Amino acid sequence: SSMAFHEGRVRLSGGSECQGEVEIYFRQDWRRVLLDSWSLSEASVLCRQLGCGSVLNYRSSPSTTEHKHMCVTGFSCSGSEAHLGNCSSAQPVNCSSGEQLYITCSDPRSIRLVGSGGDCAGRLEVFHSGSWGTVCDDSWDIKDAQVVCRQLQCGVALSTHIPAWFGPGTGSIWLNEVECEGNEASLWNCRSQLCEEGECGHQEDVGVVCSEFKELRLTEGCKGNLEVFYNGTWGNVCHNQMDDETVNMVCRELNCGRLERLDSGRARVESAPNWLDDVKCRKHDSNLLMCPSSPWGQNRCDNSDEVIHITCTEDGTSLQTPGTCSSFPLQKYCSERWSLRLSGGKGSCSGRLEVYHNAMWSSVCDDQWNIRNAQVVCKQLDCGSALSADRNVSFGPGEGTIWLNRVKCRGDEIHLWDCHHSLKNHTDCSPAGVICA
């Protein structure tokens, strides 16, 4: 039997419009839903009913608040229903008999910035018709970027970039001719057009950098003065309270091994601001910018020689090494900006790994290729976890130069370019392959 629809209204509490604890109107009252009978099918129906796109995840509620009414369990949906009222009957149960349900759906009006390793810079993507797609740069200007930064709570727009600065996207190009006044709360409040097929290519994908984007570097690759990028400028990190554990984290974060030598009292670039001081990391911090410190720009760097200088054990070839930059000093993306794809396999989640470099796609050498490297590729491509790291030519030989070699990932990096690698032309190796789950 089916519940009457007015009985099956749903709402989310304790989160946002498309994320929170699930409540359903059942037998004349709002009741929490228990996790025990819940599956992806029911979650998909709920997100659809809320007008919130597709399900991103569901789990037990972080809240332990006692709900004064009975809870509900026993939903069974096929996944294609328009609302939970069309699914088989639920039963009321005591709330203490199980964990309560918390769900996260993809807001149909979501936007995101990808390709930088941070949430506040990257290629702009919008969620539309059930999938993520890019935005064409026709008519794009700083006012449009301002709205993106505001919507993402990333401060103000620093600049708009040459098209595909963060690499070309894949899939649909959803929007074109975006025109904002600059004061809108959301990109969806601006005038825009849905992109007609063939109107734009991914080489015109919009990129945005906001003031809250933060990045670290050592001025000479894996050694040098530690600098942090914030509010559009590289600035110094002072040495007060800096200890070996904190600096070891910096070396790891920059894929430069471990700390070899820590020097304070190095001369700084006088024109650069002193951004951070009194940084002291705890064991559970995963990167430097999560560690407690003085507020941005407040410091005790009295002299010009109080900035931190670090030497790490590895002389890494990661793209944090300074490159040639145009107007914007994002070293990591200046001279080398690359996207990934898998070719020659079944679908987009298996095949020969190719990277976009110097305006062309080319293979990656299979020297030292392993499952940890493949794990990063699968994660970056939203393809789940890696099933295998292929080291023969089962996906075909590919075309063009093999220019990326000796890739060495820990497995927890966000992007392949965060891993150690060598950039050279190679003729004596086979292309690396990946199969994702």
How many other CB atoms are there within 10 angstroms of residue 160's CB atom? 21
Rounded to the nearest 5 degrees, what angle is found at the Cα of 190, between the Cα atoms of 185 and 194? 135
For 239, the 3-state DSSP assignment is coil
The pLDDT of residue 124 is: 93
Could you say which residues of the chain have pLDDT below 50? 1-5, 316-337
Nearest-angstrom CA–CA distance, 188 and 180: 9
CB 76 within 8 A of CB 37: yes
The pLDDT of residue 6 is: 58
Residues 6+ apart with CB under 8 A from 158: 209, 210, 211, 213, 231, 232, 328
The pLDDT of residue 331 is: 34
The pLDDT of residue 108 is: 60
**Among 243, 225, 219, which residue's Cα sits nearest to residue 307?**
225
Rounded to the nearest 5 degrees, what angle is found at the Cα of 169, between the Cα atoms of 167 and 175? 120
How many other CB atoms are there within 10 angstroms of residue 44's CB atom? 18
pLDDT digits (tens, 9 = 90+) for 188-238: 888 888 887 778 888 889 989 898 888 888 877 788 888 888 887 788 888
Domain architecture of the chain: domains with CATH = 5-105 (3.10.250.10), 111-210 (3.10.250.10), 216-332 (3.10.250.10), 338-436 (3.10.250.10)
CB 45 within 8 A of CB 87: yes
The pLDDT of residue 315 is: 54
How many other CB atoms are there within 10 angstroms of residue 161's CB atom? 24
Give the global pTM: 0.49
The pLDDT of residue 28 is: 82
How many other CB atoms are there within 10 angstroms of residue 302's CB atom? 8
CB 205 within 8 A of CB 164: yes
The residue assigned the tokens 């003065």 is 225
How many other CB atoms are there within 10 angstroms of residue 124's CB atom? 27
CB 416 within 8 A of CB 329: no
**Among 175, 186, 193, 176, which residue's Cα sits nearest to residue 147?**
186
**Among 277, 136, 154, which residue's Cα sits nearest to residue 207?**
136
3-state secondary structure 62-102: CCCCCCCCCEEECCECCCCCCCHHHCECCEEECHHHCCEEE
The pLDDT of residue 337 is: 40
**What is the residue-wise DSSP string for 95-137?**
GGGSPBEEEEE--TT-EEEEESSSTTEEEEEEEETTEEEEEB-
Tokens of 33: 């839903």
Nearest-angstrom CA–CA distance, 334 and 166: 10
